[in-house]
Structure 1
Amino acid sequence: MTAVHPLRPSGAARGDGSRVRFRGVLRSELGKLTSLRSLRTALAAVPLLIAGGMLLRAWAYAQTAQHAPVGVPPAAAWADVVDIGTHAGELAVVVLAAIAAGSEYTARAAVSTYLAVPRRPVVAAAKAVVVLAATAVLAALGFVGGAVVSAPFLSAARLEAPWSAVAGDAASSAALLLIVALLALAVGTLTRSTAAGIAIVLALLLVGPTVAGLLGAVIGVDLTPFTLTYAAPVLTALHDPAGPAALAGDAVVTAAWLVVPGAAAASALVRRDV
């Protein structure tokens, strides 16, 4: 693991305001993102997993079309391809955000960081900006690359679709990845552990719907709409079959999944010793 150099508190010494200090913290967080080997690996994995997932699903459509018509509209097939890429990319995004949030505590580098910048929320905000910006750029690269490599296979399956339709699905999926990154940052900051952050977020994403289904069957209430894996994709797609009122409910559920762990993480960040 490459050593992380602490940020010098030069802004405070000059008294030139929090805006200059925040720029310095941003540079510091960006340096951490590119200097740690584990973070560099996670960064590379985001577009590779997105494009790889899309390619595998498109290849499956091409194989199916060799024996019988696929039987789905081209737009639906492309949406399915993008969806598989999104689920694959979520794994890398969770790892990226959890490492960014928890690695400093594992390596005891947080002591140097907070000595240089005593205002801990400033560090957390800069870290969130850097991770979200990196996620957005990498997601865009992944979806563009995935669309390029998937197009020949879907074309062979006679499932060509307008690029505008694919772009809409990709934009919705990129927004979903940003939500996942925020959740992983909050949980990683709260637990101060990379492993715990990854485990908890993956459990919420992968096991949460199953648990909600089982509990709903026991109490006789459908709890699926209250899970992040249901509400966030519907919200980012800006379309709920039940109408605008249901879409507003999806927004509330998604916000709750982000605000509650985010508030707990902010409180722990300020109150707990390093």
Structure 2
Amino acid sequence: MWLRGRETRASQRFGACGRPAQYAARRGCPHGALPYSLLRAPGSSQGAPQRMSRAVFLDRDGVLNAYLPGDYAKTPDELLLLPGVGAIVQKLRAAGYLTILISNQQGVAKGLMTPADLAAVTAKLRAEVPLDALYYCPHLKSEDCACRKPKPGMLLQAAQEHAIDLSASVFIGDTPTDAQAALAAGVPFVLVLTGQTKDPAGFSPTPNAVAQTLSEAVEWVLGSPRLERGVNEPRASSAKAAHEG
């Protein structure tokens, strides 16, 4: 589901799984589980013919900000952005990619933070990182919703709403659930080692590339001519793949 506009209202009433009660009947999840976004891409319009766009999908925790093992960034002060991420993401936009956040945030459903808290954290993120759209799944893993990674629901919704060619796009993440969602959506995946995963050995599903940092991952995206033609790179297990075009 979309929350239109630049930020949510703190007074909006959310159900137990973190979504407005009026969306409880949505299909695909017993709790109306569709991801919500806090920003619509500039210039996007539904119903009008659009040329297919390329996108780089980005996980949040461990990719854009410091990974907090067993915890969540519940306040703006707890969102510790990694060095230079704003400029790095801007390189993708300058190259013509949409930059779209795809993030599980079950801390909302756990009651550890409110939707207003998440909106405040997101405001800080947006002030520093140029993102065209943001999708969050606020539900518990046990709810088996359609949006929570490793399911591809958020990617598929973003593709539909922003006319994205998934095969010509990339997902940059740090966990197997990120990789599984990318694989299910037919999106090449780049693993970065700044978050939950520190050693790519045995990582499954095998990523297309492994990068030490987000900067290296972006270098791989921008240097991969096969992505420009919409052809998936062969999946590679070596960290050297992050530097191979």
Judging by fraction of residues, say which structure has more strand. 2
Pick the structure with more helix per residue: 1
Q: What TM-score results when the alignment is normalised by the length of structure 1?
A: 0.29
- Largest Rg, 1 or 2: 1
- Larger relative contact order (Cα-Cα within 8 Å, sequence gap ≥ 6): 1
TM-score by length of 2: 0.32
